[in-house]
A and B are shown apart, each in its own frame.
Chain A
Amino acid sequence: MLEIIFFYLAATIALIATALAMTRANAIHALIYLIVSLLAVAVIFFLIGAPFAAALEVVIYAGAIMVLFVFVIMMLNLGKEGDARERQWMQPRIWAGPVLLSLVLFAELLYMIANIEGSLPHPAVTAKEVGLSLFGPYVLAVEIAAMLLLAGLVGSYHLGRRYLERGE
């Protein structure tokens, strides 16, 4: 019973924090709301029986990726005029189209989800099972992920190196 309450609590926190993150003018404030949202999703992962995914969500998403964002925002040094410009970009009149499109997509998803029945079984999928699966049938996917990360590393080094060389 308690985990049901925790689930709905975490889901509410995730939704509110994400909505706030998308509408803030200050990038750091948005980032902190986003971290709260990711932590709430990690709680949900834990509750639905995926402790390995929950740990990765905290360590990599809320830790590593968000720290990258923090570094870049600090390097850019936007300041007060950045906030003002951001507010000017978020005029109420540009909201109509995106809100309509998102609502249409959500209605379609709702229509497809509505017929799904069943609830999650209790036993958790442990990290051991995930590891056996990763290095058993999915070993090619691990290799591809490694290649992708290498490509990301080389690409970001290339882009960042030219930024540092020519200065400001």
Chain B
Amino acid sequence: MDGLNIPLNHILLLSSLLFCIGMLGLMIRRNIIFILMSLEVMLNAAALAFVAAGAYWGQPDGQVVFLLILSVAAAEVAVGLGLVLQVQRRFKSLDMDSANRMRG
């Protein structure tokens, strides 16, 4: 029966792959919207690792942490998209590099 179940390290492998793709996206994009999307992907990958660990030990703690990550992601996106609107209004561009000064 043990061979028929999903191996834990494959789920962790998927989670780390998703995290690395998210980090790659974070570094290669200059558009703020895509940077926020990459952050979402990275948070989601971390959440996948937590839920997999929780399922492995049969404990609800993993899903509790998933709920916390979810609220962090929601708050981060709400503030981040407000900042996107501000940057677009002020610099007429979504280029992250245009907002590289403290008092631009």
Binding site for B on A (CB under 8 A): 1, 3-4, 7, 11, 14-15, 18-19, 21-23, 27, 30-31, 34, 37-38, 41, 44-45, 47-50, 52-53, 56, 60-61, 64-65, 68-69, 71-73, 75-76, 78, 82, 86, 89-90, 94-95, 97-99, 101-103, 105-106, 109-110, 113-114, 116-125, 129-130, 132-134, 138, 141, 144-145, 148-149, 151-153, 155-156, 158-160, 162-163, 166, 168
Contacts and interface: CB of A to CB of B under 8 A. Distances in A.
Nearest to B93: A85
10 contacts: A4-B4, A22-B21, A56-B66, A65-B74, A106-B20, A120-B5, A123-B58, A152-B76, A153-B75, A160-B85
A65 B77 contact: yes
Contacts, number: 241
B37 A34 contact: yes
B29 A153 contact: no
Interface residues of B, number: 73
A116 to B, nearest CB: 4
B24 A22 contact: yes
Contacts of A125: 54-55, 58-60, 62-63
A18 B44 CA distance: 11
A44 B17 CA distance: 15
Given A60-B70, A75-B85, A98 B51 contact: no
